[in-house]
Amino acid sequence: MRREVDYTWRLAELMAARGLHNTTELIPLLAERGIALSRPQVYRLVNQRPERINLQVVAAICDIFECGPEGLVTVTATDARRRKTASAPQKNVVDLNRVARPRRARVIDD
């Protein structure tokens, strides 16, 4: 069976729990750990869900907030629903090939 996997990025929640309400407050904490990011990069890191991220950045964030990767990212996986296929014609559906097919008109000259 096919599974759909999704994740929630929780960096903003961790910052709020620690009392950091401004994204620029994270810049010096990352710099202490050897991670140099610009203000726009840190803003995107906090406020947007990253598609790709360097593991050194993840390790630095986990060290800052004293948590593991499972505290930073919440993973959810669900079974994908199968699309239903029509097995038999339904009663309210008209088969146009047999019932409602128009006749071809013949034009006769007088």
Domains and CATH numbers, the chain: 3-79 (1.10.260)
Tell the residue number behind the tokens 């202490």, with chain if given. 32
Helices (H) and strands (E) in the chain, counts: 5, 2
What's the CA gap between 108 and 86, in Å, rounded? Answer: 44
Helix (H) or strand (E) holding 3: strand 3-9
pTM: 0.68
First to last CA, the chain: 68
Q: Going by C-beta distance under 8 Å and a sequence separation of 6 or more, which residues neighbour residue 69?
A: 58, 62
Mean pLDDT per 10-residue section of the chain, whose length is 110 residues:
90 94 95 96 95 96 95 90 64 62 78
